[in-house]
Amino acid sequence: MRVYNIQDTNFQSKQRFVTPAAKENINFLINKMRETTKYKTDGYCFKSTIFKELSDSKKEARFIDGLVYTGDKLKRNTMKGGETLFTIGKTELVIDNNSGEIIDYYKPFYKTWNGIMKKIDEFVTFFKENFENDNLVYKRYLTNAGFTEEGLKRFRKLSGVNLVGHNNG
């Protein structure tokens, strides 16, 4: 009896990459978003405004910087700073900004990868070309404010309250 070799079976998903033009546009958008992030302080208080997300006027697509993502639809609850969450309809993609690899995704069963890749190219180009047009591209920010370390010391001294809220007297 003859024994024939069979091919190795790989049950891992296929590696997918966005086009070089889409990768370049993604990095352009991320850099533009991070340039717009602001931090102000007077020595005692601070206020930071972080550019979080872009979306089109029809809410079909959302482009979110991985630095501020806190979602739960994908397998990961947090993302690294070098990653982008790109949502097109019900399709969610996590894209590595450096390599352009799609490292995590959720897509409806009937959506084809060819169609998704075309939509990625369309929307990142749209966001890049219309970045300054507030009628077509909506921008969302995450604002955070509080005391600096010096401000907290001064607050405690003036109010007589320690960190857990008890009286010092």
> What integer pLDDT is reported at residue 117 of this predicted model?
92
> What integer pLDDT is reported at residue 9 of this predicted model?
47
**Considering the domain boundaries, does residue 168 fall inside one?**
no
**Considering the domain boundaries, does residue 119 fall inside one?**
yes
* Nearest in space to 127 (alpha carbons), one of 49, 45, 60, 50: 60
**Considering the domain boundaries, does residue 165 fall inside one?**
no
Contacts of residue 83, defined as CB under 8 A and 6 or more positions apart, other chains included, come to 66, 69, 94, 95, 96, 97, 103
**Considering the domain boundaries, does residue 134 fall inside one?**
yes
For tokens 């006027």, name the residue.
57
What pLDDT, in 10s, does the model give residues 112-142? 989 999 999 999 999 999 999 889 999 988 8
> What integer pLDDT is reported at residue 77 of this predicted model?
47
Domain that holds residue 115: 16-159
Could you tell me what percent of the chain has a pLDDT over 70? 78
**Considering the domain boundaries, does residue 150 fall inside one?**
yes
> What integer pLDDT is reported at residue 36 of this predicted model?
85
Q: What is the mean pLDDT of residues 2-26?
A: 72
Number of domains in the chain: 1
- DSSP lists the bridge partners of residue 78 as 70
For tokens 């509080």, name the residue.
146
> What integer pLDDT is reported at residue 124 of this predicted model?
93
**Considering the domain boundaries, does residue 5 fall inside one?**
no
> What integer pLDDT is reported at residue 78 of this predicted model?
47
**Considering the domain boundaries, does residue 8 fall inside one?**
no
Q: What is the pTM of this model?
A: 0.73
**Pairwise CA distance, residues 42 & 47, whole Å:** 9
CB-CB neighbours of 66 under 10 Å = 19
Straight-line distance from the first to the last Cα atom of the chain, in angstroms, rounded to the nearest whole number: 92
**Considering the domain boundaries, does residue 57 fall inside one?**
yes
Provide the H-helix boundaries in 51-148.
113-129
